[in-house]
Amino acid sequence: MAKANRKVVITCAITGSIHTPSMSPHLPITPQEIADAAIGAAEAGAAIVHLHARDPKDGRPDQRPEAFAPFLKVIKQRSGCVVNITTGGAPTMTVEERVKPAATFKPEVASLNMGSMNFGLFPMLARQKEFRFDWERPYLEGSRERIFKNTFADIEYILKTCAGNGTRFEIECYDIGHLYTLAHFVDRRVVEPPLFVQSVFGILGGIGPHPEDVAHMKRTADRLFGDSYQWSVLGAGRNQLPIAAMAASMGGNVRVGMEDSLWLGPGRLAESNAQQVRAARQIVEGLGLAIATPDEAREMLGLKGGDKVAF
């Protein structure tokens, strides 16, 4: 059980490439919607906001720095939260495209997937019959044969491209082998502690959401990294809040948000990212724990500070 005086870092993933716009009318797409959603999540208790960009015309994932600039500036002006920029982008993008926003804007945190994997989004087709934009169905259907590519060379390229920026990474591990890949880069000193390890559960192609899977991830990370890391979790889809509850009770931090799940409960769409943050906060505080402020998260993760970014 977690220590009662421990602070829990809540990350909120505002919008991303997992879900397509038609699946929820509440998914933020335009720069203004993304900025407002991020600020609302921070006000609800998220210390960190994890950001993707989308084409405001059709919601397609957009990894051009020009797509990020408008909402990054607004978020910085209106909130003191930690900004985390994706290097995952979408599986259809090259590694050079995916790293460009983090290399350009030098955020405090950037995400980094720790391996190539099957990334099965196609089961969503059984639930979604109508699509607003013509790219959405083929994008989901294509995940039957598409691999999210992040080779050892790709990972090293991202780490070294951002090495001089003072950016730390939210290291996303979708399976046990990804923890060992991280250990490889730590042993080579390509990445340095303190580590921020985000264990991902419930994506088809990665580890499942069973409590034994959660415990196995935590045991393995403890053995490999000892006290040199902070552990966080995200559960995809309906697994989001149950996984958050498990991790918080085990001493972990949590990630929620509409990138990872559009739902707040069975058959109930989340109306905002802030709503999901409030639900996670209720779980954390119900366990007798407190949420971390952005500055407390900065201290826990060894971040450089919001005044040292390039936006």
pLDDT band at 25 (very low <50, low <70, confident <90, very high): very high
DSSP-assigned letter for residue 204: B
- What integer pLDDT is reported at residue 3 of this predicted model? 57
Q: What is the mean pLDDT of residues 125-152?
A: 96
pLDDT band at 87 (very low <50, low <70, confident <90, very high): very high
- What integer pLDDT is reported at residue 5 of this predicted model? 72
Residue 48 within any structural domain of the chain: yes
- Domain range for 84: 7-308
CA distances for 187 relative to 177, 184, 202, 219, 222, angstroms: 15, 5, 29, 19, 16
SS3 8: strand
pLDDT band at 241 (very low <50, low <70, confident <90, very high): very high
Residue 1 within any structural domain of the chain: no
- What integer pLDDT is reported at residue 32 of this predicted model? 98
Distance CA 198, CA 111 (A): 9
CATH number for the domain that contains residue 107: 3.20.20.70
Q: Is the pLDDT of residue 301 over 70?
A: yes
Residue 2 within any structural domain of the chain: no
Q: Phi and psi dihedrals of 45, rounded to 5?
A: 130, 0
The beta strands (E) that lie in 56-149 are given as 82-85, 109-113, 117-118, 147-148
CA distances for 151 relative to 110, 115, 181, 185, angstroms: 18, 6, 10, 12
Average pLDDT, the chain: 97
- What integer pLDDT is reported at residue 276 of this predicted model? 98
Q: Is the pLDDT of residue 273 over 70?
A: yes
- What integer pLDDT is reported at residue 4 of this predicted model? 57
Q: Is the pLDDT of residue 124 over 70?
A: yes
> HSE on the CB side for 103, CA within 13 Å?
13
User: How many domains does one find in the chain?
Assistant: 1
CB neighbours (10 Å) of residue 159?
20
Q: Is the pLDDT of residue 2 over 90?
A: no
Q: What is the mean pLDDT of residues 86-101?
A: 97
Residue 119 within any structural domain of the chain: yes
Residue 262 within any structural domain of the chain: yes
CA distances for 311 relative to 65, 77, 101, angstroms: 11, 10, 11
Q: Is the pLDDT of residue 17 over 70?
A: yes
- What integer pLDDT is reported at residue 270 of this predicted model? 98
- pLDDT tens-digit map of 178-195: 999 999 999 999 999 999
